[in-house]
A and B are shown apart, each in its own frame.
Chain A
């Protein structure tokens, strides 16, 4: 038999490419997962609690119970993702052993290591990691992340931090593309990112991996906003199952993500969706409870 190479860079980054233009939804039960799949989600994130509840619950947030993750994997045919704590490579090993399709090394859970992220090259399963700016994105890619997302501020229903992070990444990419070659080393030093990746981004005019929006997206217009800002797709965490009519809102966000440049369609799908999740003003959150500052 011809050799079959698994876990290659092309295979890991390729799955993220297949998710583009789509919506990945947080779910906490197999029933939620089926609602998400029926609404047109491209993948689900299997969790015990959505970020809004993690925020309310307090304490240490860890990887979900494997039994719950397996039940959600059995419930749907689309890819299933799960979160591990930043730096907790054994949680990641467990998730890989369960056969999840993607691991989110996530600031939404309580970090297990404040200095090191996981060496993601050691895994066959692809990883997605959060970022607030280009330097952070490139550090995660250098560690082996196959996909990047904005951190935003999860569990708030407030899109402002996701916009800040998306604009930071896209603006810094635009800045690199206009630099003279000798300026790239200085840029790499300043942003704390590997020179080879800085050079690659300057040449490509984009990240070498898929880049989704996450953290605070609650409405179809929020999703289309992130797409128009140049993101490749969106994660919706608490925004769907903390709203009054999750199935309708989920379908509306899927349609707005596809037709992100068509305001008439966004208007149509936004009609009568009921209450969005209750939002949180970022300045009202105590500094030590902000999630985006976890990881570096």
Chain B
């Protein structure tokens, strides 16, 4: 089983390293033909405007949409979450538009407001909280009926969610040594491959 990491820009090497620690094969994706044969895809953190423009120029949006529509797992972290969203408050930038959520970009302010905190994520199993790193992070303002909320900040802001084969996190599990979110996505991918 090989999981792809969209490698147009951003922290794609960090995701590959975590997946390799879990014994999963990975491939960097910059062109549409590199999507062939992948069991799932991670869209990493980075600048969502940069990744979106390059995805349009190199014809990646349509093939990713088509694969995701057939149940192919996709996980977006931070910028990746923005790209997966259907609505980002009317901002004009290219999106995959797959997930029924409304997202606010740079929701916590500028870089000096970026932060780390502990999150409860019951879906990961166990009681241990997850150390979440938020960098100029977005948040989820609204979720549609088919969307499961996985984590909230204590003020109620939604920062992780799942809609069937689509997973989004506003923070960066790839920047920590906690492998649980990657393990969770690998399980989603294994289940989708079996189905």
A residues contacting B by CB (< 8 A) are: 1-8, 10-11, 14-15, 17-22, 37-38, 40-43, 77-79, 96, 99-102, 124-126, 254-255, 258-259, 262
Contacts and interface: CB of A to CB of B under 8 A. Distances in A.
Contact of A42 (B50, B115, B176): B50
A14 B106 contact: no
Given A20-B13, A41-B50, A6 B135 contact: no
Interface string B96-134: 000000000110011111111111000000000000011
Contacts of A10: 116, 133, 175-176
A79 B109 CA distance: 11
B57 interface: yes
Contacts of A37: 49
Given A5-B115, A42-B9, A42-B46, A101 B136 contact: yes
A255 B11 CA distance: 17
A11 B50 contact: no
B4 to A, nearest CB: 15
Contacts of A125: 111-112
B45 interface: yes
Given A15-B136, A101-B111, A8 B9 contact: no
B50 A254 contact: yes
B112 A22 contact: no
Interface string B53-68: 1100100000000000
Contacts of A126: 111
A255 B136 CA distance: 24
A234 to B, nearest CB: 12
Interface residues of B, number: 43
A15 B117 contact: no
B54 A258 contact: yes
B49 A18 contact: no
Contacts of B110: 99-101
B195 interface: no
B163 to A, nearest CB: 24
Contact of A19 (B14, B47, B91, B106): B47
Nearest to B114: A11
B113 to A, nearest CB: 6
Contact of B45 (A3, A18, A254): A18
B9 to A, nearest CB: 4
B27 to A, nearest CB: 14
Nearest to B116: A5
Contact of B47 (A6, A7, A14, A18): A18
A43 B47 CA distance: 8
B71 interface: no
B155 A40 contact: no
Contacts of B105: 77
Nearest 6 CB-CB pairings of A with B: A101-B111, A4-B115, A21-B9, A42-B47, A40-B53, A11-B114
